[in-house]
Amino acid sequence: MTAPAGTQPDTAPRVAARARRGFLRSALTIAAKDLRAELRTKEALNASLAFSVVILLLFSFAFDPTVEETRALAGGLLWLVFAFAGALILNRSFARELPNDCLDALIAAPISASALYLGKALANWLLLMAVEAVSLAVFGVFYNAPWTRQWWPLAGVVALGTWALTVVGTLFSALTVNLRLRELMLPLLVYPVLIPALLAAIQLCGPLALGEPLASDMMVWVRLLVGFDLIFTVLALMLAETALVG
Amino acid sequence: MREKMLIVFCVLAAILLAYNLYVILLVLPDEAAQGPIFRIIFFHVPAAWTAFLGFLAAAVASVLYLVRKDLRYDAFAVAVTEVGLAFAAANLVTGMIWARIIWGIWWTWDARLTSMLVCWLLYAGYLMLRHAVEEPTQRARIAAVFSIFASVDVPIVFFSIRWWRTQHPQPVVWGGGSMDPAYWNTLFLNWVPLLLLGLAMAGIRLRQERRRRELEALRRMAHAL
């Protein structure tokens, strides 16, 4: 077949570049669709926000929020809140598509399953980051924690940790969407797999949440977090097709 | 044929275990620093090796299932995971007994204890996930994906928790710990019966899975009639 006048003939790199653009565009379309649907209904967002504020309140009864106590517990407290709030959002991510067989339509759409998965993961990540921003504000006020002094490194750590949570959680959400015990199984499966990432994030957020800079020996945890994110992003993109279609 | 192999494995394991127990309990002297309790290592360490071998086999079988879509690989994966989990539990329990005598506490959040517990939780999650899915091919696919995730996670768990803290006596293999050669031989010699026992258990479990598939097929046929 000859190329139409005025256009370049297709070459292998050109085709690959177009496929890559198409992949990213479909992923962004899915992410935009999910965000729009969520911002209109706010079903997962409101539940997740209310839940994290309630947990933050409850923890203030569990221990006395003095400076020393907060120093010891801040990282763990924040990440428990984020992990629980995340489970609520992740549960809804694929379950939302079940009524009216939307999931079947999405799978039948002319986009790859990994693009569908990546779009959902991006949307979940943004939603969870929004919930975490509000939780951090509430945490700062309730627990007198001056984390704004280190807001930039803290945002980086939270972004990396949240990506770990969403990259594993979104794939497992796709896996468990048809199960009877979906709401129960998801956290049960996600949390043990996430332990290395949560451990790293908890270590890093401890000093950062109190506005203290990171010591140089903490960089090993940043490396762990980045490595975890990379490994599981690749693995999840590879297995997305299997998880969604079979 | 297969059944005879299983019986041979079990008999061999029993003979070897009897001999090893004789050596461990009556021939080998007490260890200088720890006294008689050190003997638990001859079960504690090989149990961990057997468990990890089981988890490794499960990962390979899960990948093979996703490639070939043959339910026999799925049956193999669940058989070796269950056996691995049993040996991991044996490792945890023997370790706790040893810790109670030597450290004076049942449990401490040391690196190796924590990592083994996390491994145990991961694969216990695998079995729970299997229970939650009815349809066999869907169950096999979901379980295989989770098993691959778990197997990739295990080394990361070990590294991360090692950085976190460590109190465990240095591992005797590739860890700088030292042990008398006589103990070494017994340690490896005691791995053989545990491995044989694990193989026999996996074989029996595999047979159960085969029977279950046959039963399910018969039940479907009965419904169709």
B202, part of any domain: yes
B175, part of any domain: no
Chain A hits for B141, CB-CB cut-off 8 Å, are: 242-243, 246
- pLDDT for the residue numbered A65: 74
Tokens of A231: 């490994």
Q: Kindly list the distances between the CA atom of residue B28 and the CA atoms of A38, A221, B42, B48, B99, in Å, as whole numbers in the listed order.
A: 68, 44, 12, 22, 21
| Interface with A, mutate which of B67, B109, B119, B145 (most A CBs under 10 A) | B145
B50, part of any domain: yes
B211, part of any domain: yes
Q: What is the pLDDT along chain B (225 residues), one digit of tens a residue?
A: 578 888 898 999 999 999 988 888 888 777 766 777 888 888 898 999 999 999 999 999 999 999 999 999 999 999 999 999 999 999 999 999 988 888 888 888 877 888 899 999 999 999 999 999 988 889 999 999 999 999 999 988 888 887 776 555 655 554 445 667 777 788 888 888 899 999 999 999 999 998 988 998 899 899 988
Tell me the pLDDT tens digit for each residue of A122-178. 999 999 999 999 999 999 888 888 888 888 889 999 999 999 999 999 999 999 988
Are B97 and B113 within 8 A, CB to CB?
no
- Can you tell me the distance from the alpha carbon of B98 to that of B199, in angstroms, rounded to the nearest whole number? 26
Q: B90-98 long-range CB contacts below 8 Å, 24 or more apart?
A: B90/B43, B90/B47, B90/B51, B91/B44, B91/B47, B91/B48, B91/B51, B91/B116, B92/B116, B92/B117, B92/B120, B94/B40, B94/B43, B94/B44, B94/B47, B95/B44, B97/B37, B97/B40, B98/B37, B98/B40, B98/B41, B98/B44
Residues in chain B: 225
- CA-nearest residue to A178 within chain B is B133
State the total domains in chain B.
1
pLDDT < 50 regions, chain A: 1-3
Parse chain A into domains and list their residue ranges.
13-244
Minimal CA–CA distance to B19: which of B210, B140, B193, B216? B193
Of A168, A189, A232, the CB nearest to B125: A189
Chain B hits for A227, CB-CB cut-off 8 Å, are: 156
Tell whether ipTM is more than 0.95: no
Chain A: nearest CA to B82, how far in angstroms?
17
- The pTM score is 0.87
- Can you tell me the distance from the alpha carbon of B74 to that of A136, in angstroms, rounded to the nearest whole number? 44
Chain A: nearest CA to B114, how far in angstroms?
11
Of B125, B141, B152, the CB nearest to A188: B125
Chain B: nearest CA to A231, how far in angstroms?
9
Tell me the pLDDT tens digit for each residue of B83-113. 999 999 999 999 999 888 888 888 888 778 8
Q: Which domain holds residue B117?
A: 2-168+180-224
Of A168, A185, A235, the CB nearest to B132: A185
> Cβ–Cβ of A192/B156 closer than 8 Å?
no
| Interface with B, mutate which of A117, A186, A189 (most B CBs under 10 A) | A189
- Can you tell me the distance from the alpha carbon of B193 to that of A207, in angstroms, rounded to the nearest whole number? 50
Chain B hits for A224, CB-CB cut-off 8 Å, are: 156, 159-160, 163
Measure the CA angle with vertex A55, ends A183 and B164; round to 5°. 85
> Cβ–Cβ of A246/B118 closer than 8 Å?
no
B173, part of any domain: no
Tokens of A8: 């370049």
> Cβ–Cβ of A181/B159 closer than 8 Å?
no
Are B152 and A235 within 8 A, CB to CB?
yes
Of A203, A228, A243, the CB nearest to B156: A228
B18, part of any domain: yes
* Residues forming beta bridges with residue B35, ordered by sequence position: B31
Q: B29-38 long-range CB contacts below 8 Å, 24 or more apart?
A: B31/B183, B34/B102, B37/B97, B37/B98, B37/B101, B37/B102
B200, part of any domain: yes
> Cβ–Cβ of B145/A193 closer than 8 Å?
no
Are A175 and A244 within 8 A, CB to CB?
no
Chain A hits for B143, CB-CB cut-off 8 Å, are: none
Give me the residue label for tokens 């790859």. A112
DSSP label at B25? I
